[in-house]
Structure 1
Amino acid sequence: MKPQKFTDTERNMWQDAIYKDLKFVLCEAENDTTKVVVKVIVQQRWSWSISTSAQFDKAMLGIEFKNIGGLPQRITQQVSANYRKDNPHLVFGEYEYLNIRKSRINVYGKYLYQPIERGGDIRLSRNFFSSESRWAARV
């Protein structure tokens, strides 16, 4: 076992921030005393939250779901009542999926709908660290 790769793996898993708890257990391999078996025990962090806010120009209500189905994804939906005649409401949503199929590729999308502005944005990124990897980088 290479200690540096083990440390990098643990670091990347903690940085994902999708697990409530991580435990790493090292055991000797049954037939070979020079090898170890690494068991990783994870506790998923499925959560949801409701957000409200009152600002000088609007009142907002939203809901957010994280780690749906044990997958590292986040869905957010917010609705706002604005205190303006020309722009009375706003609908805003986000979707984020981290580490798609263990590739360390993330996708992020958002949309905004209001009478004076409409639009959306989709981004792909790869944020990965390995001290021994030739392609490690923050993109």
Structure 2
Amino acid sequence: MLRDNQPLAEQIGETIGYVNEIFDRKIESIKISVAEKSATTISGVVMGVILGILGLVFSVFGLATLAFWIAGRPELTMGFGIVTLVLLSLLLLIFLLRNILIVNPAVSKIISIFFADDDPQKPDNKS
């Protein structure tokens, strides 16, 4: 009687193995989705804060330049104008290089947080 049940037991074991594999893949898929969405959100927030602060400082210096120009103070106008142009170029540079400076490092960091303990090929550095 045990011999007749052995193929059934093997099939049940294989089925449990398949279910475990499907479950592991679903968990991995969820982790990747969460990592992607959180990386996008975090990099967007960081980008918004940086550009917002630089835009505010640019606006202040731009308005100061305009005020000194209207007041007729050419030496102060030139100084504030140069600073305003430097801030504008910095603002544009950060905006154009946002993927390299902000998005890619944020994605790498978040992926390393989510998948740091899952890599079985990494040697354990505990002594």
More strand by share: 1
Higher relative contact order, structure no. (Cα contacts within 8 Å, ≥ 6 residues apart): 2
Q: TM-score, normalised by structure 2?
A: 0.32
